[in-house]
Amino acid sequence: MDTPRIRILATGGTIAGSAGSAIERGYRPGQIGVAELLGAAETLGLDAAFAGRDIAAIGSQDIGWPQWDALHREIVAAMADDGVDGVIVTHGTDTAEETAFLLDLTLPAGKPVVLVGAMRPADAVGSDGMRNLANAVRVAGDTAAAGRGVLVVMSDQVFAAIDVRKAATGGAEAFRGFPRGPIGNVTPTSLDWFGPPDRSGRGARFAWPDALPKVAILHAYAGMDADAVGCSLGNGAAGLVLAGLGQGNAPGPVIEALAISGVPVVRSSRVDQGSVDRNLEVDDDRYGFVAARGLGPAKSRILLQVLLASGMRDPARMQEEFDRR
């Protein structure tokens, strides 16, 4: 097999972070550029040829449209380049699931695209960054990774973008998948897939938008009133996602306010995992709501933004998109 040619696009995050001490808890993300990351990767003896580019040097809490637009453009170019076999995006962990899902919705399921990060900065004792990067190289260079959509590699596991989420604030094994868990296990020297590619030959689900409309997430809580709905609308929200109680519920006044908001409303859940099913606790047909199904609030927001950007506003059609995998 020929040596895989990997394009690495760096955005910052903990994988590029520095604490200035092996035991210091605090650190600054995005301190290590792609050239230094590539230099470190080349010392590992990986069977791959690297080229890289810095897209950003930020913590992923600050990532947004400018970085997403640049990433998408670079990945599309890499996919069209016969000299590139796979793409790796180094990324902070806080919003990796959102970036991965947005790219997954708007890229064809062709060459492997892998997001990777770290839970500990590069100079911390027990740093996981280089192992995760070596694992990502193993995945991005594997021909069997094609046709699976955008992937996320963390803690010796491979997750599909639609399933992955950050489920813990700390610890190297902070990532989980729902409704599927990991779809593969990986180490720097091995890769085991748990099934065949399920999206081979599929084009992009949606065209890349010119911009993403504003969508707000409302976190439900006991005693919540309807003020948050009005505030979000007053700030220009074109759609609303309810991070609801349990099965996506909220106090009666909130549900009523959402029903007359005049914008598309998606019911998700603040619970860590589980499906929000249609018409189970809330009469979605009556209110014109969309049930998020297996998507949490963050991904529900991304999908709703993409749907609105594509001109879709009909709740029934939106529900079909939330039902898809």
Q: Which residues are catalytic?
A: 14
Whether 137 contacts 6, CB under 8 Å: yes
Burial (0-12, 13-18, 19+ Cβ within 10 Å), 252: exposed
Q: How far is CA 60 from CA 16, 18, 280, in A?
A: 11, 15, 35
Say if CB 107 and CB 113 are below 8 A apart: yes
H or E stretch including 89? strand 86-90
Q: How many CA atoms lie within 13 A of 94 on its CB side?
A: 12
- 93 assigned binding-site residue: yes
For residues 54 and 163, give the distance between their C-alpha atoms in angstroms, rounded to a whole number.
27
With the CA atoms of 98, 53, 139 and 189 taken in that order, what torsion angle do they form, in degrees rounded to the nearest 10?
-130
Burial state string for 275-311 with b = 16 or more CB within 10 A and e = fewer than 16? bbbbeeebebeebbbbbbbbbbbbbbbbbbbbbbbee
Give the C-alpha separation, 48 to 140, whole Å. 10
Phi, psi for 17 (deg, rounded to 5): -95, 160
Phi and psi dihedrals of 55, rounded to 5?
A: -95, -40
Residue for token pair 């604490």: 19
Provide the pairing of β-strand 164-166 with 175-177.
antiparallel
Task: Give CA–CA dist 97/173, Å, rounded.
Answer: 15
Q: How distant is the alpha carbon of residue 199 from its chain centre?
A: 18
- Ligand-binding annotation for 60, yes or no, is yes
189 is in an annotated binding site: no
| Annotated binding-site residue numbers for substrate | 60, 93-94
| Annotated binding-site residue numbers | 60, 93-94
